[in-house]
Chains A and B, each alone.
Chain A
């Protein structure tokens, strides 16, 4: 029995079917990733250089995205902002998901007191609102890039753990795990070879979602002035420092906002429109 899904136009290629929305979203993400990698080599001006006589200058030739509240080139600052926003978030989400998923699978397979203690402790961590946690830690230890990455990672480990553990617990009840277990297989084999391949798709989707959460939290912290410190600026900080341009809709405040939205919405859309492997048996 298949549930009718409101699928947008899907095409197939190499045994997978793709939706148009998913492809566009993937392209946007790819573009921002490239920008994050290449930014230092392509920016027209150094991010600290004041290049405009006017502040909140409009878009024009040479200053394609106008200038910011000090007259610096917005294009350069947004491109470099991508490097910080994407880079920090990606590093943090990788640490969070890797630790969370590994711990979650170990807890599910091992069970017993290890599972209980780990779950209890991480659930408690989860009971601290993320913004509050970020606020307190960043205030305490400062906001260098490594601290930001670690803090964001720690905040999202419990969620990744909970998600992976729930999936792994389900797989763990399957008979093929029992079969492997009475064969005498080790925990490492059970986790890596039997469980992980079966949860990798939802885990990757969760990775994407958590990436969005981290981008949002990082932007929020930067917006509060608790993220990256000047002259470095991620997109959240760009919005904050240029908020004065809001009343006259300066590109300096609108562009970084759009940048955040385009990235997070694309990731969300990509997750909802992942390519599906066509697995039809010939009836």
Chain B
């Protein structure tokens, strides 16, 4: 056997809620050579995690490996007994989970869990294991490598936990490490550090790896080869360079195309751009006890001012915890501001939504990130979309039904979907229904809070295109809140960068290559590029990183 891993014609079945068997992996074959890092890429539901886990001979509850061979260093994981598999897990093959925060046992120290593999398999005395762990912590550039092991998981940040779980995987000197979307939950500035750390230890140890991800740009930095999966089947396999430059399969090309959104055509109507639709002045909002000056103890939004002009879009970008979502909720009146003014369409708005007039509420709609929780699962699509029609426009049943059809057409959904419940829709469809409901109110401004973040790349770019079209047809304005620079760049006329509750800079998309504020510089430079040499060539000002990177 020449390769470390040889998977042949792998088949995995899953049992649905009603007990029906569905084949979710339909004959996948792949090879991994010694020391090679192979990426499994695909959208959610493509089976990439299932394939990766099967390399350990493991299928999640409800799933079953039904056919094919999984040869890892000469042994067929599918045919081994559970005891024999357990012997290989942690020593030959190790796993780095998607959410390290959930995968650490909360009632045991980090060190105990990192060296647990050596205890289970009796690899080395605990003292030696601890030394080895500290060496790994250092290699993964974790802060305080000597002391961090004594902490409990909840006392360590997400990015650090992700690196600690890599140490946990590497301590048994495995031949193969499986990374299951290890940076998806992290902010971009943190993601860089984690990626760099992973890459250097894998390269130093000559360890082979499987890197599961949906993000081509991330994968381009770390993988030697890429396997593209869709619907449980391999679409295309090739070296990273070949896939990026000369993809053969249409699906791969679609992925690549979605990654680089078309730049927004500049607004021709410079004359219309002078009317202000929304202006907020020195708005402050937050949580916790109210202090003597009437401001909250913890300020999530700190004297932020912004202007949205009619028919134009404002993007708000920042990392988790920067206050951008709170800002959206403050504008919509869900979280009333503690101080500051909100002027909408020439009139001063009350801070709390329930004090605003029905027309004011109607003209400003908000669309949330997770369509799963934004749509009432107990109602069919037509009820969801027609409620604003009945509530704001007092349409009768017939008029509502007609309008629902029109709205479904507008968001490019088939009319027959109106009878379905949200759980019977795909992620992209749900987000379109979510948007159609906002359109039903006939608003002037739509606040979009991370609406593409939970979607797969291809689906997300289609939603963005739809938003642009609707804007042209209906003359809407958007406030677009996101952590993803490429999304904001694609649709916005102005971009506001937020950090720690404050507005640090506002620029136009054509100037994102040259931001002036140091935090914007750090943020923009941290967005991965499709170029495989990008990570290695990236030089970051260490002072900036220590000042702004939350590690």
Contact = CB atoms under 8 A, between A and B. Distances in A.
Direct contact of A and B (CB under 8 A): yes
Nearest to A198: B378
A2 B14 contact: yes
A283 B22 contact: yes
Contacts of A176: 373-376
A84 B384 CA distance: 44
B376 A2 contact: no
Contact of A278 (B18, B333, B366): B18
A172 B421 CA distance: 19
B374 A3 contact: no
B368 A4 contact: no
Max count, chain A CB within 10 A of own CB: residue among B333, B366, B370? B366
Given A1-B62, A182-B366, A280 B16 contact: yes
Interface residues of B, number: 41
Given A2-B17, A184-B358, A280-B20, 6 more contacts: A2-B61, A2-B62, A3-B61, A3-B62, A185-B391, A276-B17
A197 B19 contact: no
A3 B391 CA distance: 41
Given A175-B373, A182-B334, A197-B378, A4 B62 contact: yes
A281 interface: yes
B361 A182 contact: yes
B437 interface: yes
- Determine the interface band of chain A, counting residues with CB < 8 A from chain B: 20 to 34
A175 B424 CA distance: 19
Contacts of A7: 19
B436 interface: no
Nearest to A10: B19
A185 B353 CA distance: 11
Interface string B304-334: 0000000000000000000000000000111
Contact of A179 (B24, B368, B379, B424): B368
Interface string A243-283: 00000000000000000000000000000000010111101
A178 interface: yes
A130 interface: no
B388 interface: yes
Contact of A197 (B14, B16, B375, B379): B379
Interface in B330-388: 332-334, 353-354, 356, 358, 361-362, 366, 368, 370, 373-379, 387-388
B19 A17 contact: yes
A198 B421 CA distance: 13
Interface in B8-25: 14-20, 22, 24
A279 B16 CA distance: 9
Interface of B: 14-20, 22, 24, 60-63, 332-334, 353-354, 356, 358, 361-362, 366, 368, 370, 373-379, 387-388, 391-392, 421, 423-424, 437, 441
Contacts of B15: 2, 4
Given A181-B334, A276-B18, A175 B370 contact: yes
A12 B15 CA distance: 16
Nearest to B329: A178
Nearest to A7: B19
A250 B313 CA distance: 84
Given A194-B376, A283-B22, A175 B388 contact: no
A181 B18 contact: no
Nearest to A194: B376
Contacts of B20: 280
A2 B16 contact: yes
Given A2-B62, A175-B370, A279 B423 contact: yes
Interface string A1-44: 11110010010100001000000000000000000000000000
A132 interface: no
Given A2-B62, A4-B61, A184 B391 contact: yes
Contacts of A3: 61-62
Nearest to B332: A182
B376 A197 contact: yes
A179 B366 contact: yes
Contacts of B379: 197
Given A175-B373, A182-B361, A1 B354 contact: no
29 contacts: A1-B60, A4-B61, A4-B62, A7-B19, A174-B374, A175-B374, A176-B373, A176-B375, A176-B376, A179-B368, A181-B354, A182-B332, A182-B334, A182-B366, A183-B361, A183-B392, A184-B354, A185-B391, A197-B376, A198-B377, A278-B17, A278-B18, A279-B17, A279-B423, A279-B424, A280-B16, A280-B17, A281-B424, A283-B22
A3 B379 CA distance: 26
- 4 tightest A-B contacts by CB? A197-B378, A2-B62, A175-B374, A278-B18
